[in-house]
Amino acid sequence: MRVVLDSNVVLSGFFFAGIPGIILQGWRAGRFRLVISPSILSEYREAGVALESRYGGSEFDAFAAVLALHSDIVDAPEHLSEPVCSDPDDDKFLACALAGGAEIIVSGDKELLDVSGWRRVEVLRPRPFVEKYLPDLRGGAS
């Protein structure tokens, strides 16, 4: 299974664990293949640096390098030929899913959730993704 993770999922998983942390654990265990584009990786890194400065050094840049090394990086446009999301900045996640053959985007972003099903790309919140695809990893996470 090929999956695109919104920045909020990656950053929450890395910095705060919880359900997004379980998703990253599933990726590390090879339960799904992460699909990213250069613009998404850049967004991960920029937001990670901002969170590191706020919450203290936690080596996010090293983690981003591991993400890049063990993911499928696809050449996807930042914007689609016609806007789909009400926030055009979110279209890069849809473009990445299309370019990388990902059938799922995991996100808590309302604008992305509102367009779930567009071109057969399902957008799931983190908890339903874990419940459906990673139920054995849940343990005591809430």
pLDDT tens-digit profile of 70-99?
Answer: 999 999 766 667 777 767 788 899 999 999
CATH at residue 113: 3.40.50.1010
Cα distance between residue 129 and residue 34, in whole Å: 14
Cα distance between residue 137 and residue 133, in whole Å: 9
Q: Would 11 be classed as within a structural domain?
A: yes
How many folded domains does the chain comprise?
1
Summarize the confidence of residues 51-67 as an average pLDDT. Answer: 84
Summarize the confidence of residues 4-19 as an average pLDDT. Answer: 94
Residue 142, pLDDT > 70, answer: no
Q: Would 13 be classed as within a structural domain?
A: yes
- The mean predicted confidence, pLDDT, of the chain is 90
118-125 CB contacts, 8 Å cutoff, 24+ apart:
118/84, 118/94, 119/94, 121/94, 121/97
Q: Would 142 be classed as within a structural domain?
A: no
Summarize the confidence of residues 21-26 as an average pLDDT. Answer: 96
Q: Would 131 be classed as within a structural domain?
A: yes
Q: What percent of the chain has pLDDT over 70?
A: 90
